[in-house]
Amino acid sequence: MDSESTVTTCYRHPKVECHVRCTRCERYICPDCMREAAVGHQCPECVREGARSVRQARTVVGGRVSAVPVVTYVLIVVNVLVYVAELVRPEIVDRFAMVGAGLTGPDGGHYLWADPYPAGYTPEGLVGGEWYRLLTGAFLHLPPTEGTFGVFHVVMNMVALWNLGRLVEPMLGRVHFLVLYLLSALGGSVLVLLIAPQDAVVGASGAIFGVGAAYYVLARRVGLHMGQVNRFMTGLLLWLVLSALVTSWEGHLGGLLAGGAVSLAFAYAPRDGRRAVVQVGACLLLVAVLTAAAVVKVSGLTGGGLPQ
């Protein structure tokens, strides 16, 4: 009696004869569909299903693990490109620096704020409705016309960001790190507005001080050896004191405080389903507080009426 052999084919490629089964679903698979597994081979669908069921690694604050500090590198590139733009168009500094209250004269010059201001003069800065300056000033640096410190300003800040960002960003994750950086910059600008509204301030230092505060908080959170961390913080605080002589200590202190607050919320939020809610809520609360402080200050500078 003749028996006809049964021909088995791949479930994805019915015209291809095969004799290997997927170790998970036991469907026949051809060489093109075989995926190496711990034991035997699996089909593409089972591989995808398995990948979805694998728990993704997270940072200590719940962010996605990232071995490459992409945000740090992007921020450095943006700051350098903006500085090149300053060299080509020096007026960019006056247009986008953090200024709380100033005046532009009929001759195009910049003058101290006065309320009421003389005829022919126009408000400049936040009192003129230029709220974007709260962040744009953090991406500008002193131009070379300020002497040697002009170039040293951007170089020093980018070196600090390079060293700190490569430590902190992998501990936070990209999204958390970017939020920390921007809120630290915002905190620095708001403190400048509150204490020295007539100063024109530029520099990424406020945001970098916030990243420095986060490094300290996260180091304590994960139990790093604190000897080196404490020495770092001593140097950061010394920089804060010395900055009163050459740059804006208000911006540095504001960034330090804002960054510390954000990193505390990130690091010590409950490690359950509420973590994201607590972290987002803390950031929104900080934004609300900083916004309210800025609005009240500008309102006071303009005699109780906000600029139109």
Q: Give the whole-angstrom CA distance, residue 286 versus residue 180.
A: 11
Domain residue ranges of the chain, discontinuous segments joined by +: 1-50, 70-301
Judged against a pLDDT cut of 50, whether residue 35 lies above it is answered with yes
At 307 the pLDDT is 54
Closest Cα to residue 243, out of 188, 190, 161, 284?
188
Query: Cβ(188)–Cβ(200) under 8 Å?
Result: no
Report, as an integer, the average pLDDT of 2-7. 56
Could you list the beta-strand ranges (E) of the chain: 20-21, 28-29, 35-36, 41-42, 98-99, 102-104, 110-112, 122-124, 200-201
**Tell me: the pLDDT tens digits for 91-107?**
999 999 999 998 898 88
Residue 129: which residues within 8 A CB-CB, separation 6 or more? 123, 307, 308
Is residue 256 over pLDDT 90?
yes
Token duo for residue 133: 């300056």
Tokens of 234: 């001593």
Q: Which of 58, 63, 56 is nearest to 177 (CA)?
A: 63
Task: State the pTM of this model.
Answer: 0.80
Q: What is the CA radius of gyration of the chain?
A: 28
- Tell me: the pLDDT tens digits for 42-93? 888 888 877 665 556 677 787 787 778 999 999 999 999 999 999 999 999 9
Question: How crowded is the C-beta side of 107, counted as CA atoms within 13 Å?
Answer: 3
* Whole-number Å distance between alpha carbons of 121 and 187: 29
Residue 294 CA to chain centroid, in angstroms? 21
Per-residue model confidence (pLDDT) at position 1: 41
Cα(161)–Cα(169) distance, integer angstroms? 11
Percent of the chain with pLDDT over 70: 91
Query: What number is the average pLDDT over the span 214-219?
Result: 90
Contact (Cβ atoms closer than 8 angstroms) between residue 188 and residue 196: no
With cut-offs at 50, 70 and 90, classify the pLDDT of residue 143: confident
Choice between 242 and 81, residue whose per-residue pLDDT is larger:
81
Average pLDDT over residues 242-246: 68
* Domain 70-301 of CATH type 1.20.1300.10: no
Q: How many CB atoms lie within 10 A of CB 278?
A: 15
**Would the pLDDT of 250 be above 60?**
yes
Q: Closest by alpha carbon to 211, among 247, 248, 166, 242? A: 166
Cα–Cα distance for residue pair 285/264, rounded to 1 Å: 14
42-56, 119-133, 278-292: range with highest mean pLDDT: 278-292
Q: What stretch of H or E contains 169? A: helix 148-172
Q: How many residues does the chain have?
A: 308
